[in-house]
Amino acid sequence: MSPDYPREACGIVGVFGIPDAALLIHAGLFALQHRGQEGAGIVTSDGNQVKSTKGLGLVNDVFSMKTLRGMKGHLGIGHVRYSTTGSSRLQNVQPLVVECSDGIWAIAHNGNLINAGALRLMYQEAGAIFQTSTDSEVLIHLLADPMYRNRPRRVARALAELKGAFAFVLMTKDCVMAARDALGFKPLSIGKLGDGYVFASETCALSQIGAEYLRDVEPGELVVVDSSGLHSSWFAEPPSTGLSHCVFEHVYFARPDSLLFGQSVHSVRMKLGMRLAQEHPVEADLVTAVPDSGNSAALGFSRQSGIPLDFGFMRNHYVGRTFIMPDADQRARSVDMKLAVVKEVVKGKRVVVVDDSIIRGTTARRRVSALREAGAREIHMRISCPPTMHPCFFGIDFATRAELIASNRSLDEIRVYTGADTLGYLSIDGLLSPFPKAPDYCTACFSGRYPLDISRMEGKGALETLTPLLNLQAKNH
């Protein structure tokens, strides 16, 4: 099996000390469905018996109420997976479950491990067999490694071997653990529900199941919950140079009703929209969002500029997933079906369209064309992040550098390509302006300044060696 290291932006949930944990995990995964639609899985334990269910598709496709009721237990973990067409197979759906000499372990991962290739090769050369093509599986091998097995802090030591971006939830038959990498790329929050604890990628999942948000798992922290309570320890020191929270989580990925890295996603996006209006003012009749991720920024743009906000696009929430469609034409038609222009709103108007990002440019072009067909007089595109010029190596599924329109075209060439009358991107300073400690954010896909040494990824010594691995289906916009 050739490893393809899918670049995922997944969602994870962990529950300890609450009856019918499977039902809660299911509700939490449902709230995190926007982070992954390819597959979902839940593993539970009643302290003795471990049960696992997983499958391809949406959370509600994978779990029936009968299945969930059959998964008895007061602890468990769950995962929703976003990946690519080539990696769309059941073995890759998490949580990964294995039986080690000391019993069953299950893990669920959000992020991307940049030394997974080197670790995998090392274990394969020593005779280990891998069951999946995910980077996450290397943690299983580290946990099972005899070198680590008898050490008291084996989980911490295994985590300390990993490089890259990760938020993990792990479980054995009688405890649940949660950990974040030392730079804090990926979000992971802790909540309290009754006498039990809940971990989730975003706080919207805690709200969904009625848990009270306590705090985030800190970068480099390992939190263990068992029958004796919650225990914290550190497997890595956060660097003195600052953290690297993924700023794109705030721009696009997370749900607006989540608190992320301590700040409201909605408020951050509003501020980005306000700053965008200051940086790229325009005379127009209305502001409209590209829903849903452009909504909060469009509201901010409207408030700052005084231009009224209206609904120029209407989203159809019942269109299937575009990424599994086999050809580009089908995907494009599906993208068109997802967003309809409200003609009566835009006809004869000068329209400001606020979107969160432009990746390849094809979707932006279709949006502009649809607005023109509906009779918009002028179209002014405003993007609430800087031009996306560099690939992400830390778990967000962008196109290759060649496919990123901003990496090989000037601003005006992008404007011409999309067909807009004007185009304005937020500056990097503007992007970081909502955050009290700007250096604590990764901006590598905009600036090219990677917080980790990616030139030695996979231990092969060259960024180019990863290019085929990155040539995966991008977010279609």
Total residues binding ligand SF4 (CB under 6 A): 11
DSSP state for residue 126 in the 8-state scheme: T
Binding map of ligand SF4 across residues 429-448, x = CB under 6 A, - = no contact:
-------------xxxx---
Instruction: Please confirm whether the linkage preceding 95 is cis (ω < 30° from 0).
Output: yes
Return d(Cα 249, Cα 246) in angstroms, integer.
6
Which residues are paired to 11 by β-bridges?
A: 80
* Residue 47: Cβ within 10 Å count: 12
Helix/strand/coil for 69 = helix
Whole-number minimum distance, CB 219 to ligand SF4, in Å?
13
Q: 16 or 248: whose CB is closer to ligand SF4?
A: 248
Residue whose CB is less far from ligand SF4, 76 or 187: 187
Of 21 and 445, nearer to ligand SF4 (C-beta) is: 445
Residue number, 341 or 442, with CB nearest to ligand SF4: 442
| Residue 175: active-site member | no
Q: Please report how the helices 411-418 and 362-373 are oriented relative to each other, as an axis angle in degrees rounded to 10.
A: 50
Q: Which of residues 344-373 bind ligand SF4 (CB under 6 A)?
A: none
Asked if residue 219 lies in contact with residue 232, where contact means CB atoms within 8 angstroms, the answer is no
Q: How far is the CB of 318 from ligand SF4 (least distance, A)?
A: 29
- Among 188, 374, 392, 466, the residue binding ligand SF4 under the rule CB under 6 A is 392
Task: Out of 396, 399, 404, 420, point to the residue binding ligand SF4 (CB under 6 A).
Answer: 396
Between the two ends of the chain, the Cα-to-Cα distance in Å is 31
Residues in Cβ contact with 183 at an 8 Å cutoff, skipping those fewer than 6 apart: 165, 219, 238, 239, 243, 244, 442, 451, 452
User: CA triplet 193, 194, 200: central angle to 5 degrees?
Assistant: 15
Site mask, ligand SF4, residues 245-284, x = CB under 6 A?
Answer: -xxx------------------------------------
Catalytic-role residue among 10, 204, 392, 445? 10
d(CA 134, CA 1): 11
Report phi then psi at 230, rounded to 5. -100, 130
**How near is the Cβ of 16 to ligand SF4 at its closest, in Å?**
29
Interaction between residue 185 and ligand SF4 (CB under 6 A): yes
Name the minimum Å distance from CB 391 to ligand SF4: 8
- In the complex with ligand SF4, the residue whose CB is nearer, 114 or 396, is 396
**Chain residues in the site for ligand SF4 (CB under 6 A):** 185, 246-248, 392, 394, 396, 442-445
Catalytic residues: 10
